[in-house]
C-alpha cells in the first residue's frame, strides 16, 4: 500500500496495517517531507516522497488517499487511471459530481474502491447489520442514532477541519459517517434532510460543534441523527442506536457497557477495533474474496445526503437530496 497524506488518520491506517498479514506499507507521500518521512519510518522498508504520482507507481497495489477532502476526487481518479485499487478516506468528495468521477474511474479501471466509512466496522454496527440481514426486525422503518463525544478542542481541530471550503463543513464531513451507516443499515437512500447546527461548548469556534439531522428515506423510513463533539468532559463517549422494523427492534447504548462508568473515560468496547477490521476487509477485497462493503450506490447516496444536510444547516430549511446531485 502507498499512503498519500501523512496526517492523523494515515497514522491509524499504518498502525492497523502492522497487525494485518498480507498487506504492508510500501510508500508514503505528503507535501510536507518531514511528515512523509516520519510515517514511512514506522514500517520497515517503506519509502517516502512529496510527489503524488509515486503513490500509484508500479510497486503499489492499493493507494490509500488520506489527504484533506478537497483533493480526494482528483487523487483517486489518478490512482484508478494507473490501475490501482483505492482506499479513500471520507468524505469521498466535496461534490456529488466529483464522487461520480471517482466511481466512473473505478468502474473503467475495473479496480475496487473502499471508502473508509470506519463506523461500519465498529463491532456493534457489524452485529446490528448482521441481525438486520438475518431478518431480526423485518424491514427497518425508524432509526435513532446518537453519537456524543467529549470536546475535541482547543487543540483537537485545526486547518482544514475549520475551513468549510476544504472539509465540506462539519455537518458534511462528520455527518457522512452517520448518514453512510444508516444508508447501509436501512438499505435505503436518503431523499430529504433537515439539519440544525449548534455551538454548544465552544461558541468562539468557526464551526458548529454539534448538529442534528432528520432524514427521510426513499421508502418512507425516518431517522434522527444527533452528533456532538462537545461534551464537557474530554474523552467521554455516549453512543446509542435504535433501529425499529416491521417485526422487531434492535437497540444499543454505550451506557450499558461497564467501561461507561469508569473514573477515567475510555472508548466503549462496542466501537473499538474498527480500523483493524476495516483493514482486514481491505485485504480480503484485494485478495478478491470480498466486495467492498461500501457499494458504489451507497457511497454516492451517503455523500449526497451529507452535502444536503450541510446545505440545510447553512440555510435553515429542509433540503431534497436531489438538490445537490
Tell me which residues touch ligand NAD (CB under 6 A): 4-10, 29-32, 35, 52, 66-69, 71, 89-90, 116, 118, 159-160, 173
Q: Which is nearer to ligand NAD, 71 or 236 (CB)?
A: 71
The three-state secondary structure class of 171 is helix
CB of 65 vs ligand NAD, minimal distance in Å: 8
Give min distance, CB of 219 to ligand NAD, in A: 27
Separation of alpha carbons 263 and 227, rounded Å: 24
Nearer to ligand NAD, 141 or 173 (CB): 173
Residue 122 DSSP label: S
Nearer Cβ to ligand NAD, position 67 or 146? 67
CA distance 165 to 249: 39
| Residue 47 or 71 with smaller CB distance to ligand NAD | 71
CB of 166 to ligand NAD, least distance (A): 9
Find how far residue 311's CA is from the centre of its chain.
19
Q: Minimum distance from CB of 5 to ligand NAD (Å)?
A: 3
Residues 3/29, Cβ–Cβ less than 8 Å? yes
85-89: strand order across its sheet: 47-49, 27-29, 2-4, 62-65, 85-89, 113-116
CB of 68 to ligand NAD, least distance (A): 5
CB 11 to ligand NAD: min, Å = 8
* β-strand partners of 146: 226, 240
Residues 218-238: b if buried by 16+ CB within 10 A, e if exposed: eeebebebbbbbbbeeeebbb
Min CB(204)–ligand NAD separation in Å: 21
CA-CA-CA-CA torsion sign (304, 309, 315, 316): positive
Q: Which is nearer to ligand NAD, 90 or 283 (CB)?
A: 90
**By Cβ distance, which residue is nearest to ligand NAD?**
7
In the structure, how many helices (H) and strands (E) does the chain have?
9, 13
Residue with Cβ nearer ligand NAD (244 or 279): 279
- To ligand NAD, the closest distance from the beta carbon of 197 in angstroms equals 18
> What is d(CA 25, CA 256) in angstroms, rounded to the nearest whole number?
38
Nearer to ligand NAD, 206 or 318 (CB): 206
User: CA-CA distance, 7 to 67, in Å (whole number)?
Assistant: 8
Run of H or E residues at 244: strand 237-245
Q: Which is nearer to ligand NAD, 191 or 271 (CB)?
A: 271
Distance (Å, whole) CA 24 – CA 21: 8
Give the CB-side neighbour count of residue 223, counting CA atoms within 13 A.
Answer: 34
Amino acid at each position: 500500500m502507498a499512503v498519500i497524506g501523512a496526517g492523523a488518520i494515515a497514522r491509524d491506517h499504518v498502525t492497523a496495517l502492522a497487525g494485518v498479514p498480507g498487506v504492508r506499507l510500501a510508500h508514503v507521500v505528503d507535501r510536507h517531507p518531514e511528515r512523509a518521512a516520519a510515517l514511512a519510518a514506522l514500517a520497515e522498508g517503506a519509502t517516502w516522497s512529496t510527489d503524488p504520482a509515486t503513490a500509484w507507481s508500479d510497486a503499489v497495489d492499493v493507494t490509500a488517499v488520506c489527504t484533506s477532502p478537497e483533493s480526494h476526487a482528483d487523487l483517486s481518479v489518478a490512482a484508478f487511471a494507473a490501475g490501482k485499487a483505492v482506499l479513500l478516506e471520507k468524505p469521498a468528495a466535496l461534490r456529488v459530481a466529483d464522487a461520480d468521477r471517482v466511481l466512473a474511474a473505478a468502474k473503467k479501471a475495473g479496480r475496487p474502491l473502499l471508502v473508509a466509512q470506519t463506523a461500519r466496522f465498529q463491532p456493534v454496527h457489524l452485529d446490528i447489520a448482521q441481525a438486520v440481514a438475518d431478518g431480526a426486525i423485518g424491514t427497518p422503518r425508524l432509526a435513532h442514532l446518537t453519537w456524543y463525544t467529549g470536546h475535541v478542542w482547543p487543540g483537537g481541530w485545526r486547518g482544514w477541519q475549520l475551513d468549510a471550503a476544504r472539509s465540506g463543513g462539519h455537518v458534511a464531513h462528520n455527518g457522512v459517517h452517520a448518514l453512510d451507516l444508516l444508508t447501509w443499515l436501512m438499505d435505503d437512500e436518503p431523499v430529504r434532510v433537515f439539519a440544525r447546527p449548534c455551538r454548544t461548548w465552544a461558541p468562539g469556534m468557526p464551526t458548529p460543534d454539534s448538529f442534528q439531522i432528520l432524514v427521510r428515506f426513499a421508502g418512507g423510513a425516518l431517522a434522527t441523527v444527533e452528533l456532538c463533539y462537545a461534551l464537557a468532559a474530554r474523552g467521554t463517549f455516549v453512543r446509542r442506536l435504535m433501529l425499529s422494523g416491521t417485526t422487531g427492534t434492535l437497540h444499543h447504548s454505550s451506557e450499558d457497557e461497564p467501561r461507561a462508568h469508569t473514573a477515567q473515560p475510555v472508548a466503549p468496547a462496542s466501537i473499538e477495533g474498527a480500523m483493524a477490521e476495516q483493514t482486514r476487509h481491505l485485504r480480503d477485497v484485494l485478495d478478491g474474496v470480498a466486495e467492498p462493503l461500501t457499494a458504489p450506490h451507497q457511497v454516492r447516496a451517503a455523500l449526497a445526503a451529507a452535502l444536503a444536510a450541510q446545505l440545510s444547516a447553512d440555510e435553515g430549511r429542509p433540503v431534497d437530496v436531489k438538490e445537490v446531485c
